[in-house]
């Protein structure tokens, strides 16, 4: 890997209780002994775990993020929702926005744009997910789809330093499938061409077995890891192999 900083973002999705926090000890210990000072680890647990996780990681360089937020910038009558201010208040530094699981549940580009604006206003950094479906890929519309998601999602936003783009092909999430290396390189390049200082991560079925292939793609700034991040041994293995 040639990049200055490598991000390893753990998306725990709707998994984990208080006892899952015990697994952080291993990862924290590994990070302390690692010589790679440029490794950035961010854990995005369910909202219920943000506060206890932040407390647990108080002295660690591992940071904590959320998996989504409501678009409303202040408090309001939105039963069951959590806004970016609240996430910041309990220790989140980042928030994932635009994950395909939420897009599939009806989240539009316009809503994503409002959420990103609200998160930035609250002082959170944003992990902005984009990705094409298998049907769109088959029709060779990947570039067009991603450009549109970026254009609409980042409409009237220019604070790019606070935004990490996570390219996550929908067909790759949780399926064990990953894009061909040359295709992934080209897609990441075309995203970076939109704005040269975009940091672009890859997400979708990253695991200890395919990381050797993925790490050889040298324009990737890190990985967003779902399933494999719930097992500290697999997560550490992915990080170790990225550098070896």
- Footprint of ligand PEP on this chain (CB under 6 A)? 11, 168, 173-174, 203-206, 224-227
In this structure, what DSSP letter does residue 210 have? T
Catalytic residue among 70, 71, 99, 132: 99
Minimum CB–partner distance for residue 223 and ligand PEP (Å): 8
* φ, ψ at 130 (rounded to 5°): -135, 160
Is 101 designated active site?
A: no
**Residue 11 near residue 225, CB atoms below 8 Å:** yes
The secondary structure element, H or E, covering residue 197 is none
Minimum CB–partner distance for residue 173 and ligand PEP (Å): 4
Which CB sits closer to ligand PEP, 85 or 92?
A: 92
Which CB sits closer to ligand PEP, 173 or 184?
A: 173
The Cα 49–Cα 87 span in angstroms is 11
The Cα 82–Cα 210 span in angstroms is 35
Is 168 designated active site?
A: yes
Which CB sits closer to ligand PEP, 71 or 168?
A: 168
Minimum CB–partner distance for residue 11 and ligand PEP (Å): 4
Q: Degrees (nearest 5) of the Cα angle 228, 233, 238? A: 60
Which residue number places its CB atom closest to ligand PEP? 226
Catalytic residues: 99, 168
């Amino acid at each position: 890997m040639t990049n200055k900083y490598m991000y390893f973002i753990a998306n725990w999705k709707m998994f984990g209780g208080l006892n899952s926090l015990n697994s952080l000890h291993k990862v924290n210990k590994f990070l302390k002994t690692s010589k790679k000072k440029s490794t950035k680890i961010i854990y995005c647990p369910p909202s219920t775990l943000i506060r206890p996780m932040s407390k647990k990681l108080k002295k660690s360089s591992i940071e904590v993020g959320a998996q989504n937020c409501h678009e409303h910038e202040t408090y309001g009558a939105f039963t069951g929702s959590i806004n970016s201010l609240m996430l910041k208040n309990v220790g989140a530094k980042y928030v994932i926005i635009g994950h395909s699981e939420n897009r599939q549940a009806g989240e539009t580009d316009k809503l994503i744009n409002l959420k990103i604006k609200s998160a930035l206003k609250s002082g959170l950094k944003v992990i902005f997910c984009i990705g094409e479906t298998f049907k769109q890929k088959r029709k060779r519309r990947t570039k067009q789809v991603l450009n549109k998601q970026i254009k609409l999602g980042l409409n009237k936003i220019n604070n790019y330093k606070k935004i990490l783009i996570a390219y996550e092909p929908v067909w790759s999430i949780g399926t064990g499938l990953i894009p061909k290396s040359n295709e992934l390189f080209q897609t990441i390049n075309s995203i970076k061409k939109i704005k040269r200082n975009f940091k672009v991560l890859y997400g979708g079925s990253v695991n200890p077995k395919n990381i050797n292939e993925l790490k050889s793609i040298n324009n990737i700034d890190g990985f967003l890891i779902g399933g494999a991040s719930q097992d500290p041994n697999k997560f550490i293995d992915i990080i170790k192999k990225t550098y070896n």
